Structure 1
């Protein structure tokens, strides 16, 4: 792997001090950003080793990251000879039958986006509010302490996603295991992951056939109609792949962000007090929690340079495996002053946790809606909510793409 580096950063042939760093970087505490992110922007490119043992480079600066996310010379298709892998056991988002780059990706994305327009998302607000209230009612009936993951953070987004896609309520619990396998970096073996994915694929195929027989107003029914009535717009395998992807990742990222965001507020009582005193701070607080990149590192942003990419003072050579490091960009001092400080009053609207460009998260509007409704109603219902352990005693998941918390014990 060749990287043309800025001359001012080091002498020719001098290795970066961070060249031996494994990525993702470890966290000094469950709610703290990795120490390596502090001042990382002094080097625009940082060589790292991935969990697979393969090498890649992090692009560290906000302006560079944002630019690369819209550059078609940086491909999401890493199913190439010599390209780095995230995991040895799991290909995750890679599928040789699906092109993850424009224009093929854009064609299908436009069809899926019909379900995620601002108007459609806002129309789901009453449903989201009702689900949150039901979950909080049950939480109150049980009494504390409870695990917030199991009582709110995970049940909410999976119920919302299943409602959107038209998945029967009785099948929701099965997705937790399938998602754990799909997002595994090292928790499961290759055969275990393969078995879980075969189960999910069979389920998706059955679900699509059920929607063909009895279509509804859900997204799977709509995509199936496009497949059957608009010849050439959506291949059968594309239909199955997108249904599977939305079911798997459409809820766990929101669940992880919701639980982590609540924990972050509870660990910063002065920020929580400010939010309780002025509920208009909530949208900004959500953006600041997103900037904190609670769901984990940027390893899932792994890309491949299909051509030389000239940057400001350096070049990313063709054939380089590249990670546009959103976690570093969100800590860029030139965009977010004192980035190491959790401050819900700052303008964090430029955070890149939902990515940017052609791969901007299609569910961003829905995720924001769920985060705002759940956070506001949780603290309104339980103003005395608190963790039952010290924040530094929380434990994060290991061996998974998302670095969510194992449990979030709270009482009130």
Structure 2
């Protein structure tokens, strides 16, 4: 997204390469020096073992990125750039804040939601079929599915999807919007989060926001701004990764992975295996447009991959490159789509900041792909891959629209 526009169509453009091909320039190797868009020196870490160390070693943290002596890491602000947010605090304070939401996202809790997530999937496919072929699978399926799921979990059934798209696009902007535009959108989003909290305090229910407020009251140390940031962060994170991954997976499956579509329809176990491989192999963002990895800063000298990185250095852990490390992952999607992973993928991070909603995203993708393949076995792209309209200039990259037929 390179220009300001409508909430769902801002900064769209035709990308020259489909998402899988964005990785061809990556070359996992020892840590090496580069620079962020701000000019700040950054150590690029790309091998699987090295990236995992960066994300799990307590000598590297998020909070030091916002210390008084820290160099600039962002050209424009976004939702990840809040020093008091869950992503940017470490240690005991981070553990305490994370516990307030973690219990809602355990595998056991996710399993209880499966029947109604499946019902949402089936309902959307019903509507897609009723609309008829051809159709835009993004507006009809990949975007509304995760929005409907997180809206129900948080009891936000009246949430305007266009307004949510507007806020999310600005919250995850890399180059799409100006700092002023992002500030205005985030002020509106923050006000929305505060309104939701006030309403839920007055009328608590059995939903994620009410449970979050109850846990925070029991803890007693979580500030009101942190609560607001948690709520709006959950709204964004609860749908963005799934929407991005599902759209990108369909681009691959309906173009290069046609032979796999039949097997996806056969059973949920095949869809679960394929989901892991798709999440590993297809990046959430385009490294040509965004920062080169998950940022951390060293608090002391640290040896990573045989290289001593000095204290106070900014380090970028490139999960995309690590997920394609040829020393670990020797096959490709054509040969390995339904095989177990050779090692843990790092799409959702690792260590203390591992994505809270990973299991929910997995379940939505598994059900979304399996049920769609079962109901529409002849689904195909209605446009050539090189003509796909991509969302650009954000921290994530996926089709803005995707015409399909059956």
Same fold per superposition (TM over 0.5): yes
- The equivalent residue for 2:310 is 317
- Separation (CA, whole Å) in 2 of partners of 1:29 and 1:284: 22
C-alpha deviation, 1:145, in angstroms: 1.5
Pairing partner for 2:177 from 185, 188, 196: 188
Residues 264, 369 of structure 2: 8 Å contact kept: no
CA deviation vs aligned residue, 1:95-120 (integer Å, no higher than 9, x gap): 23445212211111111011111121
Q: C-alpha distance in 2, partners of 1:217/1:139?
A: 31
Q: 1:177-230 CA distances to partner (integer Å, 9 max, x unpaired)?
A: 1000000011111111001111111111111110011100011111222333x2
Q: Name which of structure 1's ranges 171-180 and 240-249 shifts more when overlaid on structure 2.
A: 171-180
Matched, 1:368 2:354: no
CA offsets per residue over residues 319-358 of structure 1, 9 Å max, x none? 2211111111100111111347563133226211111111
Deviation at 1:169, TM superposition (A): 2.9
Of residues 89, 100, 104 in structure 2, which corresponds to 1:100?
89
Distance 1:143 1:53, change over 3 A: farther
Give the equivalent residue in structure 1 for 2:62. Answer: 76
Quote how far apart the aligned CAs of 1:396 are. Answer: 2.8
Superposed displacement of residue 28, structure 1:
4.4
The answer to whether the 8 A contact 1:31-1:392 is kept is no
Identify which of 213, 220, 223 aligns with 2:212.
223
Correspondence 1:244 to 2:232 = yes
Query: Could you say what secondary structure the match of 1:207 adopts?
Result: helix
Asked whether the 8 Å contact 1:44–1:59 carries over to 2, the reply is yes
Question: Structure 1 residue 46: deviation in Å?
Answer: 3.1
Aligned to 1:136: 125
1:26-68 superposed Cα distances (whole Å, 9 cap, x missing partner)? 984443242222xx22x31133343444432210111111122
1:147 to 127, 136, 140: 136
For structure 1, which segment, 179-188 or 301-310, has the greater mean C-alpha deviation from structure 2 after superposition? 301-310
Give yes or no for contact 2:30–2:305 (8 Å, CA) kept in 1: no
Structure 1: stretches of 5+ with no match in the other structure: 1-25
Q: Deviations over 1:293-327 (max 9, x none)?
A: 33114745111112111124211111221111111
Within-5 A mapping of 1:169-208: 169-208=158-197
Q: Which residue of 2 aligns with 1:166?
A: 155
Spell out, residue by residue over 1:77-129, the C-alpha distance to the aligned partner (whole angstroms, 9 max, x if none): 322444342x4121431223445212211111111011111121111111111
- Residues in 2 aligned to 1:284 and 1:312: alpha-carbon distance in whole angstroms: 30
Q: TM-score, normalised by structure 1?
A: 0.87
RMSD over aligned Cα, in angstroms?
2.1
> Would you say the 8 A contact 2:78–2:182 is kept in 1?
no
Give distance in 1, aligned partners of 2:168 and 2:202.
27
TM-score with structure 2 setting the length: 0.88
**C-alpha contact 1:394 1:405 (8 A) present in aligned 2:** yes
Structure having greater relative contact order (Cα 8 Å, sep ≥ 6): 2
For this pair of structures, how many residues does the alignment match?
382
The gaps in structure 2 that reach 5 residues or longer are 1-14
